[in-house]
Structure 1
Amino acid sequence: MSSKSTPMIKQYLSIKEQYPDAILFYRMGDFYEMFFEDAKTASRILEITLTSRNKNHGKPIPMCGVPHRAVQSYIARLIRQGYKVAICDQVEDPAQAKGLVRREVVRVITPGMIIENEFLDARANNYVLAVTRIGDVMGLAYLDISTGTFRLAESEDRDAIADEVLRVSPSEILLPESVRSDTFFSAMITAVSEKAVTFIADRRFGYGEGRERLTDQFQTLSLEGFGCETLRAGVGAAGVLLYYVGETQKQKISHISGIETYALTDYLCVDDMSCRNLELMENLRNGTRQGTLLEVLDQTVTAMGGRRFRHWLRYPLLAAPEIEARLDAVEEALGNPGHTGTLREALKSVYDLERLGSRIVMGHAGARDLIALKRSLATLPAVMETVSLFGNRLFAWREDTAPLSGLAEQIENAIREDAPPTISEGGIIREGYSAELDELIKISKDGKGWLARLEAEEKEATGISSLKVRYNKVFGYYIEVPRTHSEKIPAHYVRKQTLVNAERYITDELKAFESKVLGAEDRRAALEYEIFNQVRAEVRTHNGAIQSAAKFLAGLDCLLSLAHIAEQNNYCRPEIRTDGQLIIEDGRHPVIEKMITAERFVPNTVRMDARENQILIITGPNMAGKSTVLRQVALLTVMAQMGGFVPARAAAVSLTDRIFTRVGALDNLSQGQSTFMVEMQETANILNNATPDSLVILDEIGRGTSTFDGLSIAWAVAEYLHDLRGKGVKTLFATHYHELTELAREKPRVRNYNIAVREYNDEIIFLRKLVEGGTNRSYGIQVARLAGIPGRVIDRARMILGRVEREHQNLRTISHAEDDSIAEPQSVQMGLFCHPEAVLSDSLKKLDITRITPLEAINYLNELQEKIKFH
């Protein structure tokens, strides 16, 4: 810093030193200014002009600025890029300050510490998550400050914790300083590389400090009531979140009134890769929700219902009674379409009570937020009257709505419907609410009439018909007279300003009026702000009831949404079982059936159990629909366990603890991993973590390596899943390795299926139907032709396939062949586990030459020849 630095720059640097990892927005008048490196960074990202300060005094200081009235949009852009923003405001009146105005950071906005609607996705939570380790136990907690959602879990299973971090999908992660060199945590950071990571001193993660922070926040003697008193690692993680809230928000956040403790084993786990493969929340093409299960199922009409629905979809239940309760509620809603329609219409008038309440409690709410709250609370009596007509316990909300109705009435009486967005300039409190305020408003209104009378009197007294009495912010009230009438100006007029064509004057009478009116305007604005804060404080005392109502309405919205989509798409109620059976009769893919328009969706029946139909080997050509069948079984399982109806004629779903998928081939070249390595890592995860209660979806294995290696791995994987823990695991295995169909002869719980096609004039027709039995053809050449491969390539491929099938030559020999006059290929494929020599040897050893006739010998040789063709 230069010795010639101004007091302002010295103040800026002293504040900036406390927030080195944030861009400091330093309030100067009507602008927030940034200096030095912050200015360079902000000007680049915000695309605003970079200028400089102190150009004539030593080294210029880079600077840029944004208007304080438009600051939100600029902050949003920085936050989206992963930056933190420290808001430094003037904390004393400049008119009363002696010397430099005192400034302080009043809030730090980070990706995980956002409450403004314009920064947030209305239908998704915005979490900041903390992870720590105490001994062998990993603790995890996450918080959405905009809604007050606060959850905690811990586990000794590192992989489970890593999966949970990905499932939560936080915007920001807090980690202890000491884990920077820990391989587990570095792998986690890599997995969430697009998220903001903040390191905090290890001592802040301690159990003692965490417990103290939590009990102080909740005003309890212990954490027993929240089920986490003994969860040392989890409490340490939760405690650091409250520490971080205090450091960034500069206040105690009273709307965080409890914490939900849960076990990772309480829910059906769909790991992050499987979530992507199944396109539950985001599609694989561009990462949006278009074409996802969420888009199809989420018919909620409130923002808080949308967030709750995402949670239900990402955390399907494992407890049968809870699932049945949701299914009962959905069935009852379906059976009462009139009441259901009434409720859904009423909910459309409900604003985001969770986030409204949070902004009000934190002191960031404006008059329009209170109006939105009032309108929402006004719908409660009608909603509660309608839900009382339902019998399911999930529709029951027994709290008294009278206090909230009274609160809505108070807001109605106090706040004007046309209140401006600012709360410090008046115009927000209704007339009739405060006698003192009404008096000040009357003075302002009477003032306009008084000015009109004064203007008329002065025109008559001076004889100047063009005389005007006016006001502006610079000169206040004045009398304006055209210069052509200057000779008529009375002596008591005092000249205030000279214009090109007019003169402006004031009088003692006008100055006295100005003092009275302007004083009233200032007092009015101050009193309105004071009254508004009183109303906001009253709302704050009801926040617990507001959040309780929000929670109930969000759940109600989800149940009604599940009923609506079930009625709209002809879904059925699934039977929830615990015997390992998974039966889907005429099941449909919930997303694809809504997207296809050129053809009718063909439903399929799938039956799986732990006795005879545990592993289904599914063969058939590309584009036939194997992947669709696989995915729809997984999706229907998720839908059933979240408590929803499913697209099928009938369905029975046995409780599933995890769904694993190995689908497609997504390269991870940026991390130096080949397609095959990624495939093997995903397969290893399945083999190491699947249980007899899991569901495994395998869509091709081994395609990233040689045919023999790939087939061998696929065979071994299928065997392993069949024998897993002596019980096996339900597996749907789609493959082009037709040799895998031989597994059905060796393993008792393996069954073969294929997707039927029909051939006609060398063309194939996809029937999309799953039928029993294997197939020995892939129809690859026909599919290639449908895809638009040139005819010459198709013809050459037929020739090569014919030679391979007939002569078993390798591709090097084929490429040098001169005779291309190859007959059309037979409908066979080479066997890789059963060679022709073995077929001949085994058959001839069993032949009793002494008893065979010449004719029988000829027929037998013909059979051998045919058998070899198929091997």
Structure 2
Amino acid sequence: MAIPQVDTPMMRQFNAVKREHPDKLVFFRMGDFYEMFGEDAVVGARVLQIALTSRDKRSEHAVPMCGVPYKAYEQYLNKLTAAGYKVALCDQTEDAAEAKGLVTREVVRIVTPGTTVSPQLIDPDRNHYLLALTIDLRARRLGAAFADLSTGEFEIAEFAQDELPKLYDFLAQLDPQEILLAQSRSAAETAFLEPLTQRVSQLLAPHDLSLLNGHETEHPSSQRFQFVDPYLFDQDAARKCLQTHFQTHNLAGFGIEPLTLGTAAAGGLLAYLKETQKCSLAHFTSVKPHVFEQTMLLDEATVRNLELFETQSGNKRHTLFAVLNHTCTPMGARLLRQWIRTPLLGVEALNARLGAVEEFASQLLLCGELQTRLKGVQDLPRILGRINLSVVEVPDLVGLRESLTHLQTLPDLLAKLQCAKLRSLAEDFDPLPDLLALLQTKLLETPSAKLREGGYIGEGVSEELDELRDLAHNSKQVLNEVLLRERERTGIPSLKISYNKVFGYYL
């Protein structure tokens, strides 16, 4: 990809960022717009269907450019991500009014198909996975780690080299939106990886023919692969990355110590997320091994022929999942999907689940009350994920507050249950009353993201804000008080306050 060479300080700054991120479209913040230059602008204008212009049109080396409004950038970002592109957000990191010379800019976040958390792009009833794979040809094993950035779910697994069919079925189950692979270090690795990537691309190809929440994908499934520096999967570096993140001396408490390749993949995946998201990822609180022995791994042909999630014609309405899905929350829908995709094998676990179903069936009134409460609960894991990723918006905070309000009554309802599995859930359930009280204090009862409509920060949070808000709502009263005070101070009873557009209010 050619880098535009225009000898201005601002373009030199853009070119430096572009050199660091050659495989990404750079959203370069300039005032109230995110601008794209060069080949980025050509691609962006075509995908987003916006006007393509150029800097210094009279020059023979005019640089193509296009831009999107900063306040509405997310809808454009979503279109690019849905089309399979990676986008680097380069923001101004200092106040332009206080800057001496060129404003400092840094990449503050990188959004890829596997790391998007936009509610407009990810289905509420299914996980949105990023996958990392690493291989050891000497040990004849593969390590895998997968995570959902929007919810904080994080698991690892390992496969023998002769278990490739099992790996393919597993990948079809996950349907990862992005796959991290180390760049090949030898001819042997290349010979092994080429057929593997081809098979996975074929396996995931049918999913690429569908729409991603209404957005068409431009890139084939082969573009899901992201080839990274092999050092990312170095076992020592990966282990250190995981231990640092989880603040532990070792990983024994997570049960993943024996899975050395899986641990390497997990550390590499976590490092990749930290590099792209530029934040602590505090909502990733644990990592666990994926236990194949407890559930049945259905192959793709079985899933397709049984029409579990999609009919032969591609319809999603007349499927087993659609018939059974009467869940009240997005979390419940995702869990039901996982249960259908991976049926239980153990008799004890099956009986425990059936016992819970039986109790709900025998207590229809209680079941109805629980459903009524849960219908008011929004997607809590994804709201918390957006809070930790610093992309939270006012509706998310309001949704969290309203959801917690509905959860306060659940302990009393759950206490009426007798089934052992449900009793254990009731004993561990925390409705987070302290967090609810905080949100009720800090947010207005009817908040708005628009300042003209009153904003969203509650009264008493900031004295300065309260004073400004009082001025906005009671400006006439404040002006009258100023007028009376000045008349008394000056002894001029005819003193008046006037206004014009040049000076504002004046005596």
Normalised-by-shorter TM-score class: 0.7 to 0.9
Partner of 1:94: 96
Is the 2:328–2:375 contact (alpha carbons within 8 Å) kept by the matching residues of 1? Answer: yes
| CA–CA separation in structure 2 for the residues paired with 1:422 and 1:212 | 44
What is the deviation of 1:392? 1.5
Of 105, 110, 114, which residue of structure 1 is paired with 2:107?
A: 105
Is the 2:37–2:63 contact (alpha carbons within 8 Å) kept by the matching residues of 1? Answer: yes
Quick check: 207-216 or 1-10, which moved more? 1-10
SS of residue in 2 equivalent to 1:99: coil
What is the deviation of 1:393? 2.6
Is the 1:138–1:161 contact (alpha carbons within 8 Å) kept by the matching residues of 2? Answer: no
Quick check: 384-393 or 35-44, which moved more? 384-393
Distance 1:357 1:144, change over 3 A: same
SS of residue in 2 equivalent to 1:300: coil
| CA–CA separation in structure 2 for the residues paired with 1:370 and 1:201 | 38
Quick check: 414-423 or 158-167, which moved more? 414-423
Q: Does 1:169 align with 2:171?
A: no
| CA–CA separation in structure 1 for the residues paired with 2:274 and 2:452 | 26
Percentage of identical aligned residues: 37
What is the deviation of 1:138? 1.3
What is the deviation of 1:162? 1.8
What one-letter code is carried by the residue in structure 1 that aligns with 2:71? Answer: R
Is the 2:471–2:478 contact (alpha carbons within 8 Å) kept by the matching residues of 1? Answer: no
| CA–CA separation in structure 1 for the residues paired with 2:426 and 2:451 | 35
Of 337, 340, 348, which residue of structure 1 is paired with 2:364?
A: 337
What one-letter code is carried by the residue in structure 2 that aligns with 1:374? Answer: R
Is the 2:4–2:63 contact (alpha carbons within 8 Å) kept by the matching residues of 1? Answer: no
| CA–CA separation in structure 2 for the residues paired with 1:392 and 1:425 | 49
Distance 1:424 1:100, change over 3 A: farther
| CA–CA separation in structure 1 for the residues paired with 2:112 and 2:59 | 35
SS of residue in 2 equivalent to 1:346: helix
What is the deviation of 1:372? 1.4
Partner of 1:188: 200
Partner of 1:370: 397
SS of residue in 1 equivalent to 2:274: helix
SS of residue in 1 equivalent to 2:439: helix
Provide Cα deviations, 1:194-245, integer angstroms capped at 9, x if missing partner: 4421011112112222221112221222222221101111111111110110
Partner of 2:256: 228
Is the 2:39–2:64 contact (alpha carbons within 8 Å) kept by the matching residues of 1? Answer: yes
SS of residue in 2 equivalent to 1:17: helix
| CA–CA separation in structure 2 for the residues paired with 1:448 and 1:21 | 57
Partner of 1:399: 428
Partner of 2:301: 273
Counterparts of residues 293-308 of structure 1 (less than 5 Å): 293-308=320-335
What one-letter code is carried by the residue in structure 2 that aligns with 1:397? Answer: A
What is the deviation of 1:376? 1.3
Distance 1:114 1:507, change over 3 A: closer
Counterparts of residues 846-865 of structure 1 (less than 5 Å): none
| CA–CA separation in structure 2 for the residues paired with 1:289 and 1:54 | 51
Of 263, 273, 279, which residue of structure 1 is paired with 2:291?
A: 263
Provide Cα deviations, 1:784-838, integer angstroms capped at 9, x if missing partner: xxxxxxxxxxxxxxxxxxxxxxxxxxxxxxxxxxxxxxxxxxxxxxxxxxxxxxx
Distance 1:165 1:441, change over 3 A: same
What is the deviation of 1:265? 3.5
| CA–CA separation in structure 2 for the residues paired with 1:434 and 1:46 | 41
| CA–CA separation in structure 1 for the residues paired with 2:106 and 2:373 | 45
Partner of 1:254: 282
Name the TM-score, length of structure 2 as normaliser.
0.87
| CA–CA separation in structure 1 for the residues paired with 2:62 and 2:25 | 19
Is the 2:329–2:374 contact (alpha carbons within 8 Å) kept by the matching residues of 1? Answer: yes
Distance 1:127 1:4, change over 3 A: closer
SS of residue in 1 equivalent to 2:35: strand
Distance 1:255 1:3, change over 3 A: closer
* Higher Cα Rg, which structure: 1
SS of residue in 2 equivalent to 1:119: coil
Distance 1:451 1:167, change over 3 A: same
Structure 2 spans left out of the alignment, 5+ residues: 206-219, 488-492
Provide Cα deviations, 1:429-488, integer angstroms capped at 9, x if missing partner: 222444554344334444333447889999x9699xxxx96xxxxxxxx427xxxxxxxx
What one-letter code is carried by the residue in structure 2 that aligns with 1:140? Answer: A
Q: Does 1:356 align with 2:383?
A: yes
| CA–CA separation in structure 1 for the residues paired with 2:238 and 2:478 | 64
Provide Cα deviations, 1:528-564, integer angstroms capped at 9, x if missing partner: xxxxxxxxxxxxxxxxxxxxxxxxxxxxxxxxxxxxx
SS of residue in 1 equivalent to 2:16: helix
| CA–CA separation in structure 1 for the residues paired with 2:302 and 2:350 | 22
Partner of 1:149: 153
Distance 1:425 1:345, change over 3 A: closer
Partner of 2:319: 292
Distance 1:386 1:118, change over 3 A: same
Distance 1:243 1:297, change over 3 A: same
Partner of 1:125: 127
| CA–CA separation in structure 1 for the residues paired with 2:183 and 2:116 | 24
Provide Cα deviations, 1:394-444, integer angstroms capped at 9, x if missing partner: 323323637x11220121122013322369997222224445543443344
What is the deviation of 1:143? 0.3
What is the deviation of 1:359? 1.3
What one-letter code is carried by the residue in structure 2 that aligns with 1:143? Answer: A
| CA–CA separation in structure 2 for the residues paired with 1:147 and 1:355 | 5
Provide Cα deviations, 1:271-302, integer angstroms capped at 9, x if missing partner: 1122112111122213x421111111111010
Is the 1:113–1:145 contact (alpha carbons within 8 Å) kept by the matching residues of 2? Answer: yes
SS of residue in 1 equivalent to 2:258: coil
Distance 1:9 1:423, change over 3 A: farther
Of 130, 133, 141, which residue of structure 2 is paired with 1:137?
A: 141
Q: Does 1:159 align with 2:187?
A: no
Partner of 1:322: 349
| CA–CA separation in structure 1 for the residues paired with 2:64 and 2:397 | 41
Is the 1:154–1:263 contact (alpha carbons within 8 Å) kept by the matching residues of 2? Answer: no
SS of residue in 2 equivalent to 1:55: coil
Distance 1:445 1:188, change over 3 A: closer
Is the 1:138–1:158 contact (alpha carbons within 8 Å) kept by the matching residues of 2? Answer: no
| CA–CA separation in structure 1 for the residues paired with 2:55 and 2:42 | 13
What is the deviation of 1:118? 2.0
Structure 1 spans left out of the alignment, 5+ residues: 470-477, 481-495, 497-504, 510-871
What is the deviation of 1:362? 2.2
Counterparts of residues 357-756 of structure 1 (less than 5 Å): 357-395=384-422, 396-399=425-428, 401=430, 404-421=432-449, 427-435=455-463, 437-451=465-479, 478-479=499-500, 496=502, 509=507
Aligned length: 471
Name the TM-score, length of structure 1 as normaliser.
0.51
Is the 1:160–1:264 contact (alpha carbons within 8 Å) kept by the matching residues of 2? Answer: no
Is the 1:180–1:186 contact (alpha carbons within 8 Å) kept by the matching residues of 2? Answer: no
| CA–CA separation in structure 1 for the residues paired with 2:429 and 2:324 | 32
Distance 1:282 1:452, change over 3 A: farther
Partner of 2:85: 83
What is the deviation of 1:307? 1.0
What one-letter code is carried by the residue in structure 2 that aligns with 1:330? Answer: V
Distance 1:337 1:4, change over 3 A: closer
Counterparts of residues 1-16 of structure 1 (less than 5 Å): 5-16=7-18
Partner of 1:644: none
SS of residue in 2 equivalent to 1:345: helix
Partner of 1:516: none
| CA–CA separation in structure 2 for the residues paired with 1:246 and 1:147 | 15
Provide Cα deviations, 1:729-761, integer angstroms capped at 9, x if missing partner: xxxxxxxxxxxxxxxxxxxxxxxxxxxxxxxxx
Distance 1:154 1:177, change over 3 A: same
What is the deviation of 1:79? 0.9
Q: CA RMSD in A?
A: 2.7
SS of residue in 1 equivalent to 2:232: helix
Is the 1:366–1:423 contact (alpha carbons within 8 Å) kept by the matching residues of 2? Answer: no
What one-letter code is carried by the residue in structure 1 that aligns with 2:500? Answer: I
Is the 2:4–2:38 contact (alpha carbons within 8 Å) kept by the matching residues of 1? Answer: no
